[in-house]
Structure 1
C-alpha cells in the first residue's frame, strides 16, 4: 500500500474517515502512538507571540524583516484568516490553542473574572455568601500575599493562599486552584495519556496563574516554567513590562528554556530530560511594544500596519529568537520530526490610532451610578484592605472587567433587562456614555450570549458582554494606546503558520476562515492521537486545521 497520505480540509471529509497527518504515530491498540517511519512527527513546538496580527506576518515577510518566520512559512501552511473564538484575553486565547475550545466549554473568560458559585478564600467552611472575583494573574504567587512586592522571578515559589477561592464538592469545602478552575482537559494531558514515554513543557508570563495549563488532573505539564513577568528585574528595579527592551530580557528566559529542552535538558538546563513531545512558550515583547504610546514610537504609524520603531524592533527580536530555536532543532537533528506552530493568543487594538478613544472606565462608572453592583460603589475585590488579591474582597457583589471590552456579572441577575436598557440609553461617547454607538459595536445578552458563551445562570458566564466601537479602551491611562480582550477586528485576526523546518512542504496559503481552537486537534492529529480525547473538541465539534498534507 502506498505510504503517500494526504490530510485535506475537514469540511471536505465530513462524514468520512480522516487520516492523521502523516500517520505520525499510529495507534498501537492501547490508545498510544508509536513511531512510523523516518518522517514521523514526534515533537510539536507551539509558539505564541502575543499581539501577532496576520497583517504583521504578511508585512514582515513581504519586507524581508522576519526571515526566520518567512522560512517557516515556506516550509508550511500559512492561514490568512485565523481568528480567536470570541474573546481575546490571554486566558481564553491560550485556552483556545491548548483545549480546542472557546470560553463556552473551557470556562476561561479573563485572568480576572467572576464565579457566582465560589466562596471567598477565607471561608474555609463554605458557609458564607457565594460569588467571588477570581484573580489568577501575577498576584496568584505567594510574593503578593498581603500586598507584598513581587521580588522573586518564580513568584515566591508557591501559591498565594489568599488568591485561591473555595467550592463545595461532595459536601467538602475545597480550594479551587487554577487547574481546578478550567472546565476541560488540555492537550498536554491528552499527550501524556496517549503518547508513550511522552514529556510536556511550557513557559508563560505568570508563574502561578497559568497553573491551569496542567488541566483538571493538575499534572498535564511536566515542566511548567515558573516565571513571573510582573516581578522586579533586579537589574532595572522595574518589572519586565515597563518597556519592550526589558520584556526581551524576560522572553529570553523562555528562549533559553526551549533550547535547553531541545538539548535534552529540563527548562533550567540543570537536569537531563527527554526532549518534550509537546512544548512551547509565549512571547510578550511585541505586545508591550504595541501598547506603548505612539508619542514614544509605540504601536503603528498608519492604517496599513506599518510598525512604529518599537513594534519593528520587537518583531525583529521575536524573529531572531524563533530562528535560534529552529536552528537548535536542526543542530540536534530534530527538525525532520518536529512540527512548529507560530501564532498568538490575541492581537491588539487599535492599530489605527486615529480611532483611539480613552474616556476612562465609563462602563463601570455608569453601572455603579445606577446601583447595579455593590451598593457602596465597589465590587469584588475593589476597595479591599491591601491589594487586589489579598483575600478581603467583598462577596456576592457582581463584577465588571474592562479593557477594550466589557464583561458584566450582575449582582442581581433579575435586573438584566434594566441594565441592558441603561446601557442602550448611554451608547454615545459622553461623560457617562459607553462608546458603543457604531456599526461594529454591540451589547450581547440573553439567549444569544448563552448560545455563544454558556448560560450565565450556571455561575461563570458574564450576564452581558459590551463590545464598544473599535479603538475604545476603557481607561484614562497614558501608559498604553492599545489593548485587547474583546472582539474588535485587530484583537482577533491573528498570524498562524504550521511548519516543518526540514522543508518537506512548499509554502501554501489557506485563505478560508479558521479559528485558533483548531490548533489543538491539529497537534493531536500530528501525533497520531484522536482529537476527540479533548473534551472541548468533542463538545464544540472542533475540527483540525484544513489544508495540511505531507508526503511520507
Structure 2
C-alpha cells in the first residue's frame, strides 16, 4: 500500500506514547499498534461524504445561528467550517460531484453536465464506428433500461440494467467500443484509489440516477463496491408520480439513502443484506433541499429575501436533512464508529437566484439566437432534440449537429467550429435582456471562448469541451418554466458558494472556522489524506495540482 509517512511524534508524550497527525488528529493511543488497514496509530478508518444538494454556505450559517440544524451544528462545533468554499467553475450535478470525488474540474474529469456533447463519439447504433462523429451524450434517468424506446420509468432501480440506446461508441485502438458512464469520465476516483491502496477497503455510494452515475466507478468500472441503484425520476407506485414533484415526496426518496447508509454502518450492504462490512469510503446524495429551493416562491419555495431567509419549504427541507444527518450520526455512535469516522457535509452545487427579485426567466433565448442565425439547425433538428420516435435518448438522435445545454448557464458545442468568431460576435451584439438578447450584459456575466476556455476547461478541439460558455447575469434562467424559480449548472454566486463542514475525530481545532477561499476539488485529496493515502494517486489532483483543504496540507505533517 502506498501510504504517507509524515507523522509527527509528540515529545514528552504521557504514558505509552501518543502519535499525533498534526492539524488533524489528537488521538491518544498506545504507540506502534497497527489498525485493521495496516496504518499505525491511525484515528480515521472510515470517511463518510454527504452531499445536500443546494446547500449554500449561507444556509449553514443561518441554520446554525438560529439553532434550526442542531445535528449539523454539533458536527461544526467538533469540526471545521469552511465559509468560502466554491465549485470549480460549473455547478451541475456531474461536475459538482466529480470535484468532490476526483479532485478535478471539468478540465481533467471531462464532465460538464449530465447532458452534454462529445465530437469524438459515434451513435449507439453505429457499432462499427464508420458513420459521422459527434454525439449528444445523455447520462440521466433514461440511462437505465426502463428508458429504452422511451419507456415509462417504472422501477426504482431503473430496470436493473443499462439502456443500450443511451450508450454511444468510440473508436479505441481501432476497435469500436461502447462508452458507458465509467468510460466517459476521464480520471480516476477516490473509490478506485482507496480500493487499490487500503487493505481490505470497501466503498459505497447512493445517488439520484440509478445508471447515469455509473461514472463514479471510474475508468476501471469497479471503484464502487456498492453503488445503490435508486432513480429519483422513477414512478412511485404509491403516488403514480416521480419523487421530484414536491419536496415532501423527495424526502421519501432521500429516506432510501438514509436507510442505505444506516445499513452500511451496520456492516450490511445498501439493501440490508448482512456480511458486507463497513465501507472505508461511503456516502450519498440528498435532493430534498434542491427541490424545495426550485419550487415557486408563490407556493412557499425558495427564499424570502436577499439575506437567504428560507421560505417555508426550504425551512422544512433543512429540518428534514438535519434530522437525516442526526439519524446517520446516531447510528455511527451506536455501532462504536463515531470516533473513527470522518464526516464531510457539503453539496454538489447551490441554487440560483436565492434573491427572488433578481429572477429573470427569458426563455431559451440563447438557443433561439443560435438557431435564428443558422449556427444550429433553424428548426431545432440537432442532437437529442430530434429523434425518429420523438422519445429522448432512444439512440436515434442526429449525429454531428452540435448542441446547446442551457439552465442558468449556456454551454455551446458548435456544429461548425470555424464559425466561432461569427458566433461570438452575434452573442456580443445581443447581450441585453431585450429580445433576442441573451441577458448577459451585467458586470458578473461573461462569454468564455478561445484561449480562455481552453485554459480553464480544456481545448474544444479535443472534442469534449464546449466551444463557448455563456454565463448570463446572476438570476437569469434560460427557461419559461412555470414550475421552478431557481436552477443550477453555471457559475453564478448562488450556484457556486457552498456549505462545507468537515468533522475529524479527535481534531485539534474543534469549532474552527476557515475563511480562506477553497474549492470543492480539495475535498477529494483530503479524503485520501485522512486515510493516509497519497492524494497524488488521483490523476486530477496530480494534473491540476489540487491541494488538500487548509489544515490538511502537506506542511502540517
Q: TM-score range by the shorter chain?
A: over 0.9
> 1:502, CA displacement in angstroms?
6.5
* Mapping 1:24-423, distance limit 5 Å: 34-37=38-41, 40-374=43-377, 376-384=379-387, 385-423=389-427
- For 1:123 and 1:22, the matched residues in 2 are separated by 58
> 1:377, CA displacement in angstroms?
3.0
Residue matched to 1:532:
536
> 1:229, CA displacement in angstroms?
0.1
- For 1:484 and 1:421, the matched residues in 2 are separated by 26
> 1:504, CA displacement in angstroms?
6.5
- For 1:182 and 1:142, the matched residues in 2 are separated by 21
> 1:510, CA displacement in angstroms?
0.4
> 1:341, CA displacement in angstroms?
0.2
Residue matched to 1:460:
464
Give the 4+ runs in structure 1 shifted more than 4 A. 20-24, 501-505
Residue matched to 1:542:
546
- For 1:35 and 1:23, the matched residues in 2 are separated by 14
Question: Could you state the TM-score of these two structures normalised by the residue count of structure 2?
Answer: 0.93
- For 1:190 and 1:93, the matched residues in 2 are separated by 19
- For 1:409 and 1:424, the matched residues in 2 are separated by 17
C-alpha change, 1:524 and 1:126, in structure 2 (3 Å) is: same
Is the counterpart of residue 510 in structure 1 residue 514 in structure 2? yes
Residue matched to 1:483:
487
Deviations 1:443-490 (A, max 9, x none): 110101100000000000000000000000000001100000000000
- For 2:257 and 2:505, the matched residues in 1 are separated by 20
> 1:138, CA displacement in angstroms?
0.4
Match of 1:523 among 524, 527, 535: 527
C-alpha change, 1:395 and 1:22, in structure 2 (3 Å) is: farther
> 1:375, CA displacement in angstroms?
5.4
> 1:36, CA displacement in angstroms?
2.4
5+ long unaligned stretches in structure 2:
1-8, 11-17
RMSD value over aligned CA atoms? 1.8
- For 2:73 and 2:380, the matched residues in 1 are separated by 52
Residue matched to 1:12:
none
C-alpha change, 1:186 and 1:464, in structure 2 (3 Å) is: same
Does the aligned pair in 2 maintain the 1:84–1:515 contact within 8 Å?
A: yes
5+ long unaligned stretches in structure 1:
9-19
